[in-house]
Structure 1
Amino acid sequence: MAKLIFSNLVSLDGYCAGPGGDLSRLPMGPVFDEHNLALLKTAGTLVFGRITFGLFQNFWPQVEQDASAGPVLAEIAALTGRLDKLVVSDSLALPATAPWGDAEVVGRAQAHARIQALKSNSDRDLLAYGSHVLMNDLLAQGMVDELRLLMGNVVLGEGVRLFESGLPAALVLIEERRLEGSDIVMLRYAGVPPV
């Protein structure tokens, strides 16, 4: 059975993006990219909320066509292009001719059942980056098997909070380490189903 893994870069004060969804102040770079590539190699399906899907859909297909992209980014682009994709959205209309137009789109009401079916029928993990609204919903339902928080060495002071206020979720710390060559600390948690 596959696991559902969420990976999120977050500021020390708990923001996954600055005001208006601005990601530019979060510490991304080669070490961050290498971590994401290693995680992608374990995945069979990428899971997205609508906003994160749009960001990835607009960025990675262009990187895949960019001959000047470095080897790590090129491999990430190729993997994200090949992997199956599930988008949870009640509003996304995805033309087949669009980049990643073959992604499966399911409404929120069907999302829990569809994700559980994918977990049950796959030996490769489901992986989600960002998608904090979806993450909060699935955490509250006890459906997240693993949460990787990449704590960046920055305080944003405002923006988009990673965790919703009052979120009921139990997590068990199973690994903590500094990503070599960076000031990012990876905190890896196992999800605990609600009682």
Structure 2
Amino acid sequence: MRKLVYGMNLSLDGYIAAPGDDISWGTSSDELFQWWLEQEQAIGLFLYGRKLWEAMSSHWPTGDQQPGATPAQIEFARNWRDTPKVVFSSTLGKVDWNARLVSGDAVAEITRLKTEDGGPMRVGGATLAATALRAGLIDEFTTVTHPVLVGGGTPFFTALEGWVNLDLVETQTFPGGVVVTRYTL
């Protein structure tokens, strides 16, 4: 069975985006970007909600061709293009870049994907992750916490129906006070 990981950058007060979908506070040091690259290279399938898909697909298809792109950014763009993706949306008409669109039941599709052979899957986007969490499909949480308070926006976790006890399996610090924590169920 494939493992499903939910991991994103978040503010210290628990948001993945500030009001207005502002993510400018989540800048990465070279070391953190390299860490993200290594994490993404280990993923066999990306699962995106519409908003995160639109953000990623607006930059990474040509991210390796941007002026001043670092070697890690070039490799990230290549990996992003090459890794299969499933986009969950009822409003998009089509997707590109090695992706397929699912407009139906996300829980049923993620459950099916978990039974397939292959590397770990990463779910991205708070709404899609909340759906997977409520269905008990997430196996691991990775929080990349930036030392900033944004005061509101899109939370990493939506309201839960009850407690979820987690086991801490890793912590790591990066320049600028960024702390990575990884938890399993």
Q: Greater CA deviation, 28-37 or 151-160?
A: 28-37
| Residue of structure 2 in register with 1:173 after alignment | 167
Q: Which runs of no fewer than 5 residues in structure 1 stay unpaired? A: none
1:134 aligns with 2:134: no
Work out whether residues 146 and 188 of structure 1, in 8 Å CA contact, stay in contact via their aligned partners in 2.
yes
Work out whether residues 150 and 186 of structure 1, in 8 Å CA contact, stay in contact via their aligned partners in 2.
yes
Give the match's secondary structure for 2:46. Answer: strand
Write the deviation string for residues 9-65 of structure 1: whole angstroms up to 9, x where unpaired. 111111111111100123433233112111112111111000100100011012123
* Paired letter, 2:136: G
Work out whether residues 2 and 117 of structure 2, in 8 Å CA contact, stay in contact via their aligned partners in 1.
yes
Q: Greater CA deviation, 167-176 or 119-128?
A: 167-176
Residue 11 and residue 94 in structure 1: after superposition, are their counterparts in 2 closer, same or farther (change >3 A)?
same
1:103 aligns with 2:99: yes
TM-score normalised per structure 1? 0.86
* 1:108 Cα offset (Å): 4.4
Work out whether residues 18 and 150 of structure 2, in 8 Å CA contact, stay in contact via their aligned partners in 1.
yes
Alignment of 1:15-26 (within 5 A): 15-26=15-26
Work out whether residues 171 and 180 of structure 2, in 8 Å CA contact, stay in contact via their aligned partners in 1.
yes
Alignment of 1:1-195 (within 5 A): 1-66=1-66, 68-94=68-94, 99-100=96-97, 102-109=98-105, 111-129=106-124, 131-168=125-162, 170-191=164-185
Give the match's secondary structure for 1:179. Answer: strand
Work out whether residues 169 and 184 of structure 2, in 8 Å CA contact, stay in contact via their aligned partners in 1.
no
* 1:123 Cα offset (Å): 2.6
Q: Which runs of no fewer than 5 residues in structure 2 stay unpaired? A: none
Q: Greater CA deviation, 11-20 or 23-32?
A: 23-32
Whole-angstrom CA distance in 2 between matches of 1:5 and 1:166: 18
Work out whether residues 32 and 174 of structure 2, in 8 Å CA contact, stay in contact via their aligned partners in 1.
no
Whole-angstrom CA distance in 2 between matches of 1:169 and 1:8: 21
Residue 169 and residue 89 in structure 1: after superposition, are their counterparts in 2 closer, same or farther (change >3 A)?
farther
* Paired letter, 1:114: E
Work out whether residues 168 and 183 of structure 2, in 8 Å CA contact, stay in contact via their aligned partners in 1.
yes
Work out whether residues 134 and 160 of structure 2, in 8 Å CA contact, stay in contact via their aligned partners in 1.
no
Superposed CA RMSD in Å reads: 1.8
Work out whether residues 176 and 185 of structure 1, in 8 Å CA contact, stay in contact via their aligned partners in 2.
no
Count, aligned residues: 185
